[in-house]
Amino acid sequence: MDSINPSTPFERVLIMGNGGSGKTWLARRIGEQLHHPIIHLDDIHWEPGRYGIARDRTLRDEMVTAAANDDRWIMEGVYGQLVNLVLNRATALIWIDLPEEACIANVKERGIQGGETQTQFDGLVTWVAGYRTRRNNWNSFEAHARLFSAFPLPKFLLSSRDAVTEFADRLFMDIGAADK
C-alpha cells in the first residue's frame, strides 16, 4: 500500500463493511490517533441494552444525522442505509471487504456480546455468512459496493486483515510525518 496523502481530509471518516470485518477495531485506532469521537452505528441502531430490538427508525435516523453534523468523527457500521444518510458529510470512506470466512472467524472469536442469546449469536453468524448473497438489502456487499463506487472523495478499499492493519499503521506514520 502506498503512503496516505497527508492532505487527505480525515475530519469525518465513515467505515463500512460486513459484521466481523474489523470496523470497530479500525475506528478505535483512527479515533485514538486523530482524537476524534467514535460513533458506532450499532449503538444507534439497537435499543440500549436490548440487543436484537431495533430502535424506532425515525429516531434512529435523526440520531445518526445529528451525530454526522459534528465537525469531526469516525463513524462505523454495517448499516448501508445509515451510511447513505451521512455520506454527504464524510470526508473519507473506508470499506473493509474481508472474505466471509474471516468475518465469521472474527465474530466467533469475540463471542456473544451485548446481552445476545446463543440463538441470536447463531443468527448473526448466518447473517454474516450471507453478505455477498443478500440482494436488495442495504447491509450487503451489493449495497456497499454501490455506496463506495459513488463516493467522490478519498476512499480506501481494504480486503484483508493485513491491509486493515497496514492502513492504520501507515495513517499514523503519514499523519505523524505531516505534523513535523
Vertex 10 angle, CA 7 and 15, to 5°: 135
Minimal CA–CA distance to 158: which of 142, 174, 170, 143? 170
Quick: pLDDT tens for 65-117: 999 999 999 999 999 999 999 999 999 999 999 999 999 999 999 998 877 88
Which residue is listed with cell 459496493? 145
Q: How far apart are CA 121 and CA 105, in angstroms?
A: 13
pLDDT score of 171: 83
The pLDDT score that the predictor gives to residue 131 is 96
How many residues comprise the chain? 180
Per residue in 142-170, pLDDT (tens digit) is 999 999 999 999 999 999 999 999 999 98
Residue 33 CA to residue 16 CA, distance in Å, equals 19
pLDDT of 93:
96
pTM above 0.85, yes or no: yes
Residue 155 one-letter amino acid: K
* Per-residue pLDDT reduced to its tens digit, 10-69: 999 999 999 999 999 999 999 998 999 999 999 999 888 776 789 999 999 999 999 999
Q: Where are the alpha helices (DSSP H) in 41-99?
A: 41-45, 57-68, 80-86
pLDDT reported for residue 174: 64
User: Nine-digit cell at 57?
Assistant: 427508525
Mean pLDDT of 125-144: 94
